[in-house]
Amino acid sequence: MFKAVINADILKDSIEAISTLVDEAKLKLSKDGISINAVDPANVAMISFGLHPDAFESYECTDGEIGLNLETLVDILSMTERSDKIEIELDPEEHNLLLKMGGLAYTLSLIDLAAMRKEPKVPSLELPAKVTLKGSDLRLAIKAAEKVSDHLALGVDGSTFFMEAESDTNRVRFQLTKDELISLDASGPARSLFSLDYLSDMSKAISKANEVTVHLGKDYPVKINFSVAGGKGKVEYLLAPRIESD
């Protein structure tokens, strides 16, 4: 059983953070909220998402799991105003999710769970550097890198967090010292290279967050954490690095 009311902007922001990586996802429903673990088809980027019941106006739920086409959902949500309230109800008999917003009532058919990819195993990572900065600063670094390259390096050197990107002819560097950051905590230097294909997609959701925590290592995946829905939802992105060996 699942029946809830939520503000359109919260649902929109949440779903968009996920749909930039995957077209469809398994949603775990429980009395503690909704959670999603999904990996992109190339197994390069992963998202872990959780939304607390407090993010909803009302929330009634028993344990369950449903498969949802996120592309369709994003499309439907584009019909709403950010201030709209959305009523969501699960119809398990018909394998449908019912969405009511304003005068509109949508019936969204669920994806058969058996036909979906298995949930990814979340790798356990020991990342030596942890930096907290404004989401808009990270977005700026990513946008600057897009102007010159297809990938960028993120790292920590002493008490400085930096981004570097270069092409054959051009390069760009962006850096923030410890006192320009919200916090920096590193047990050693860190530097890894990442594809902008993924980071650019993630940066839209990142830019809306006041605080973003970035965990980095040396040629290791990056972990990016931030909250949505006024702290009642959590997003964690994990992105595998590029390692250029020759």
Partner 1 sequence: METRCVICKGRGLCGRPFCPILAKFCAIKRASIGDSIFGASPPSVFVGRVGYPDVRLGPLVPPEIAAKDARIYDDPAQWLGKGIEDVIGLRSNLVRSNTRLNVRSPRVLSDRLLIKTQMLAMASAPVDTEVKFLKPPKMELRFDGILSPMGPSGTLKDMSITENPSVPRKVDYLVSDKDVLAANATTELYESDISVYHINRLLSVGLLGRKKDRRLVPTRWAITATDDIVGKELIARVKDHSVLDEIRLFSTQRFGNRFEILLLPRPFSFELIEIWMPRSVWVGEGTWVGADREGYGGKRTYSLLAGGYYAARLGVVEYLENIKRQASIFIVREILPDYWAPLGVWVIREAVRDAMRQEPKRFETADAALNDVATRIRTPLRRWKKEAKLIHDFKFQKTLASF
How many chain residues touch partner 1 (CB under 8 A)?
A: 25
Site for partner 1 in 95-154 (CB under 8 A): 120, 123, 125, 150
Nearest approach, Cβ of residue 196 and partner 1 (Å)? 12
Part in contact with partner 1 (CB under 8 A); list of ranges 39-47, 87-95, 140-148, 204-212: 39-47
Residue type, 145: A
**Per rule CB under 8 A, is residue 245 in the interface with partner 1?**
yes
Identify whether the C-beta of residue 133 lies closer than 8 Å to the C-beta of residue 189: no
Identify whether the C-beta of residue 152 lies closer than 8 Å to the C-beta of residue 163: yes
1, 31, 32, 42: which one binds partner 1 (CB under 8 A): 42
d(CA 59, CA 18): 21
Chain centroid to CA 62? 25
Nearest approach, Cβ of residue 240 and partner 1 (Å)? 4
* Segment holding 84, helix H or strand E: none
**Per rule CB under 8 A, is residue 232 in the interface with partner 1?**
no
Which SS3 state, helix, strand or coil, does residue 237 take? strand
d(CA 221, CA 193): 9
Nearest approach, Cβ of residue 58 and partner 1 (Å)? 36
Nearest approach, Cβ of residue 108 and partner 1 (Å)? 20
1, 31, 32, 43: which one binds partner 1 (CB under 8 A): 43
Binding pattern to partner 1, positions 173-212, x when CB under 8 A?
Answer: --------------------x-x-x---------------
Exposure string over 131-165, b if 16+ CB within 10 A, otherwise e: bbbbbebbbebbeebbebbebbbbbbeeebbbbbb
Give the residue carrying structure tokens 């990572």: 125
Nearer to partner 1, 78 or 169 (CB): 169
Part in contact with partner 1 (CB under 8 A); list of ranges 38-46, 77-85, 94-102, 206-214: 38-46
Long-range (24+ apart) CB contacts under 8 A made by 91-97 are 92/1, 92/64, 97/66, 97/68
Residues lying near partner 1 in the complex (CB under 8 A):
39-46, 120, 123, 125, 150, 168, 193, 195, 197, 220-221, 238, 240-245
